[in-house]
Amino acid sequence: AQKVTQAQTEISVVEKEDVTLDCVYETRDTTYYLFWYKQPPSGELVFLIRRNSFDEQNEISGRYSWNFQKSTSSFNFTITASQVVDSAVYFCALSEEHSGYALNFGKGTSLLVTP
């Protein structure tokens, strides 16, 4: 069963629009971590953020913000004032203590930002 669901396969926005990428996860562990990675066309996975299960505080980093809600098992990612350079595939991932913190990735959301 898929532990991380990214329901949006592809999103296309015009530059300067805000965009939210959804992520829903499933786990029975009390200790777990959630991640977002960016994979630009070059292919390398770029770490964006990590959140542990005990910290529901939302985080903002420049134009990026993340909303972690345990009640809905969601960890959504918002890009404010999107730019063309934000075009990439974004992956949400879950790591659980019982599996040595191996990452379970969602299928990714392909974001295209057009000028």
Our finding on whether 100 is near another protein (CB under 8 A) is yes
CA angle at 11 for the pair 37 and 110, rounded to the nearest 5°: 35
In the complex, what is the shortest distance from the CB of residue 80 to another protein, in angstroms, rounded to a whole number?
24
Question: What is the Cα–Cα distance from 36 to 88, expressed in whole angstroms?
Answer: 12
Residues within window 47-66 making contact with another protein, judged by CB under 8 A? 47, 50, 52
Quick one: which segment of 11-19, 39-47, 63-71, 72-80 binds another protein (CB under 8 A)? Answer: 39-47
Our finding on whether 115 is near another protein (CB under 8 A) is no
In the chain, beta strands by DSSP E = 4-5, 10-14, 19-21, 24-25, 32-39, 46-52, 59-61, 64-69, 74-79, 88-96, 103-105, 109-114
Our finding on whether 95 is near another protein (CB under 8 A) is yes
Our finding on whether 77 is near another protein (CB under 8 A) is no
In the complex, what is the shortest distance from the CB of residue 110 to another protein, in angstroms, rounded to a whole number?
9
Our finding on whether 33 is near another protein (CB under 8 A) is yes
Q: Is 86 helix (H, G, I), strand (E, B) or coil?
A: helix
Q: Is 52 helix (H, G, I), strand (E, B) or coil?
A: strand
List interacting residues with another protein (CB under 8 A). Answer: 4, 33, 35, 37, 43-45, 47, 50, 52, 91, 93, 95, 99-108
